[in-house]
Amino acid sequence: MPEISRFYGIIIAMFFDDHNPPHFHARYGGEKLAIEIESLRILEGHFSPRALGLVIEWAVQHRNELWQNWELAKNNQAPKKIEPLK
């Protein structure tokens, strides 16, 4: 699972040729979740409210890049790195 960003101990990644709906994965400590790109709703998993807020803030800022990376990963191409939350 290629890592596309990392900030405040949170790792954001996408799987190659992953299932729909378009989404990304996040890990923080022992917690994991998958978030839909379009609606930013949680598809599976759980994060603490503070960590989830950081992930959502980052995703809002980088939604276009997430869509571009989804297309790359869907076609078994390496997704590009995305700037971390600052």
Looking up tokens 């954001």 gives 12
Q: Cis peptide before 22, with omega less than 30 degrees from 0?
A: no
Q: Which residues pair with 33 in a beta bridge?
A: 26, 45
Q: pLDDT at position 54, please?
A: 98
Q: Are 26 and 35 in contact (CB under 8 A)?
A: yes
Q: pLDDT at position 18, please?
A: 83
Q: How far apart are the first and last CA of the chain?
A: 23
Per-domain residue ranges of the chain: 3-74
- pLDDT tens for residues 65-85? 999 999 999 888 999 999 999
Percentage of the chain exceeding pLDDT 90: 87
Beta-carbon contacts of 26 under 8 Å, excluding residues fewer than 6 positions away, are 10, 11, 12, 13, 32, 33, 34, 35, 45, 47, 55
